[in-house]
Amino acid sequence: MITIGTAVKEIIQLTPYLEESLADGLINVSSLARKILPQVEARLLKPVQEGAVVMAIKRMEPSYYHKINIGLKNFVKNLGDFIVRSDLMDYTFQNSPTLIFRQRDLLKRIGENQKIFYSVSRGIFETTLIVSTIFAHDTDEIFSREKLLSRKQGLSSVTIRLPAENTEISGFYYYILKNLAWENINIVELISTTNEFTILVSENDVNRAFSVLMRLKKTS
Q: What is the pLDDT of residues 135-144, one digit of tens each?
A: 999 999 999 9
Question: Which helix (H) or strand (E) element contains residue 108?
Answer: helix 99-110
The verdict on 56 and 83 lying in the same domain is no
Angle between helices 29-44 and 50-58 in degrees, nearest 10? 110
- Gap between the Cα atoms of 139 and 109, Å rounded: 10
- Gap between the Cα atoms of 25 and 3, Å rounded: 25
The verdict on 26 and 126 lying in the same domain is no
DSSP state of 27: S
Number of structural domains in the chain: 2
Please report whether residue 71 resides in a domain: no
The verdict on 56 and 86 lying in the same domain is no
- Gap between the Cα atoms of 134 and 151, Å rounded: 15
The verdict on 56 and 94 lying in the same domain is no
* Mean pLDDT of the residues in the chain: 88
Query: Looking at residue 75, what is its pLDDT?
Result: 77
Backbone φ and ψ of 33, nearest 5°: -60, -45
Q: Which residues contact 85 (CB under 8 A, 6 or more apart)?
A: 117, 132, 156, 157, 159
Number of Cβ atoms within 10 Å of the Cβ of 90:
18
- Gap between the Cα atoms of 81 and 50, Å rounded: 50
Question: Which helix (H) or strand (E) element contains residue 34?
Answer: helix 29-44
Please report whether residue 46 resides in a domain: yes
E strand map for 48-117:
82-94
Question: Which helix (H) or strand (E) element contains residue 191?
Answer: strand 187-192
**Tens digit of pLDDT for each residue in 186-209?**
999 999 888 899 999 999 999 999
The verdict on 98 and 152 lying in the same domain is yes
- Gap between the Cα atoms of 27 and 207, Å rounded: 31
Please report whether residue 72 resides in a domain: no
Please report whether residue 67 resides in a domain: no
Number of Cβ atoms within 10 Å of the Cβ of 124:
5
Query: Looking at residue 66, what is its pLDDT?
Result: 54
Please report whether residue 127 resides in a domain: yes
Whether the pLDDT of residue 16 is over 80: the answer is no
Question: CA–CA distance from 217 to each of 72, 79, 137 (Å)?
Answer: 11, 7, 38
The verdict on 87 and 16 lying in the same domain is no
Which of 30, 61, 92 delimits the end of a domain? 61
Supply the CATH number for residue 213's domain. 3.30.2130.10
Q: Is the pTM of this model over 0.75?
A: no
Question: Which helix (H) or strand (E) element contains residue 157?
Answer: strand 148-161
**Tens digit of pLDDT for each residue in 111-162?**
888 889 999 999 999 999 999 999 999 999 999 999 999 999 999 999 998 8
The verdict on 120 and 202 lying in the same domain is yes
Mean pLDDT of 87-110: 96
Whether the pLDDT of residue 13 is over 60: the answer is yes
Please report whether residue 69 resides in a domain: no
Parent domain of 10: 4-61
- Gap between the Cα atoms of 38 and 84, Å rounded: 47
SS3 call for 170: coil
The verdict on 127 and 171 lying in the same domain is yes
Question: Which helix (H) or strand (E) element contains residue 136?
Answer: helix 136-142
**Tens digit of pLDDT for each residue in 55-91?**
999 888 665 445 556 667 777 777 888 999 999 999 9
The verdict on 201 and 152 lying in the same domain is yes
Please report whether residue 56 resides in a domain: yes
Please report whether residue 140 resides in a domain: yes
**Tens digit of pLDDT for each residue in 23-55?**
777 789 999 999 999 999 999 999 999 999 999
